[in-house]
Amino acid sequence: MVVKSSGGAQIAALEVAAAPRPWREWLRRRTRLVLGLLSVLAFLGIWNLATARGWISPVFLPSPAAVAAEAGNTLDTGELWRAVLASSERVFAGFFLAAAVAVPLGVLMGVWWPAKAIIDPFVSLLRPLPSITWIPLTILWLGIGEAQKTAIVFMGSWIYILIYTIESTKRVDPLLIRAARNLGATDVALMREVILPGALPGILSGLKVTLAISWSCVITAEMVAAQTGLGAIIWRAKDWGNLPLVLVGMAGISVTVLVADTLAELLERLLIPWERRRPR
C-alpha cells in the first residue's frame, strides 16, 4: 500500500510539473504574436524597398502604398464589402450543405463496413476531380445563378469532409468501444458517448481545412461566371490591367478566411473543451 501511495503521489507531482504554468503560456502567446507581427512588418518593408528602388517593376508588382490606396477606394465605394459578403454567402451555403451530407455519411462509413464498401468506388472516382471540372455541367444544370456557385463549393468540399470524417471515426480507440459494449451500452449510446466525442476533434480539424478549400472553389466559380464576389473583382481587375486591385481582392480572401478560421477555433474550444489544455 505504501508503494502504491508513493507511486500515485509521484505521478501526480509529475503531472503538475508537466502542466504549463499560466505565466509561461501567456509569455508564449505574446512572443508568438510579436514574432508574427515582426515577420509581417519585415515583409512589407522589403516589398516597399524593392518597389521604391526599382528592383521590381510596378507592372509586375505594385507598391504597398498603391495597394493600400486601391483598398481605400474599394472600401469607400463599398465594392469590397459587397464582394466579401457575396463570396461568403456562397461559401458558407455550399460548405454547410457539404458538411450536412458528408459528416453523417462519413460516420456511417467509419463504423459500418458495408456502407464503406458500397460508397468507396464513387469516392475514388470523384476525389481526383477538381472543382473547376464541374463548372460546365453545373452551368448546364443550374445556369449561372447563385445555385451554380453553391453547387461548385459543395462538389469541391464534401468529399474532403467525408474522408476526414471516415478517418477520424476509424481512429477512435477500440478499447473504449469494447469497454462501453461490456458495460451494456446500446448502439445509440455508444455513438453518442464514445464514437462522436472521440472523432469530433478530427472532424473539426477536417472542417477547418476544407473551409479554405471551399474558398478556392468559390473564387474559381466567380472568375468564370459572376458579376459580384472577390473572384469577379480579381478577374475584372486582370482584364483592366489594375494589378493593385488584383492584390486587394487576394488580400480580401486571405483576411476573410483568417476571420473564419478564428471563429472556427473559438467554436472548436466550445465543442471540445477537453482539448483546451493541449499546447498550441
Q: What is the pLDDT of residues 104-114, one digit of tens each?
A: 999 989 888 88
What's the pLDDT band for 87 if we cut at 50, 70, 90? very high
Mean pLDDT value across the chain: 84
Amino acid at 196: L
Confidence band of 278 (pLDDT split at 50, 70, 90): low
pLDDT (tens digit, 9 = 90+) per residue, 17-51?
444 567 777 788 888 888 888 998 999 899 889 88
Residue 273 has pLDDT above 90, yes or no: no
Residue 267: band (very low, low, confident or very high) from pLDDT cuts 50, 70, 90:
confident
**DSSP at 63:** -
Least confident interval from 32-36, 93-97, 114-118, 154-158: 32-36
The reported pLDDT for the residue numbered 16 is 47
Q: If DSSP codes are grouped into helix, strand and coil, which group holds residue 276?
A: coil
Mean pLDDT in residue range 123-144: 87
As given in the structure block, the three cell numbers for residue 195 are 464514437
Gap between the Cα atoms of 223 and 244, Å rounded: 17
Grid cell digits, residue 94? 455550399
Q: Does residue 252 surpass a pLDDT of 60?
A: yes
Could you give the CA distance from residue 60 to residue 147 in angstroms, rounded to a whole number? 36
Mean pLDDT, rounded, for 94-101: 94
Q: Which of 230, 235, 224, 234 is nearest to 136 (CA)?
A: 224
User: Cα–Cα distances in Å, from 8 out to 5, 48, 209?
Assistant: 5, 60, 41
Return the H-helix or E-strand segment holding 229: none
pLDDT at 274: 66
pLDDT recorded at residue 276: 56
Q: What is the pLDDT of residue 118?
A: 92
CA separation (Å) from 236 to 52, 73, 90, 199, 252? 27, 16, 19, 43, 15
pLDDT of residue 102: 94
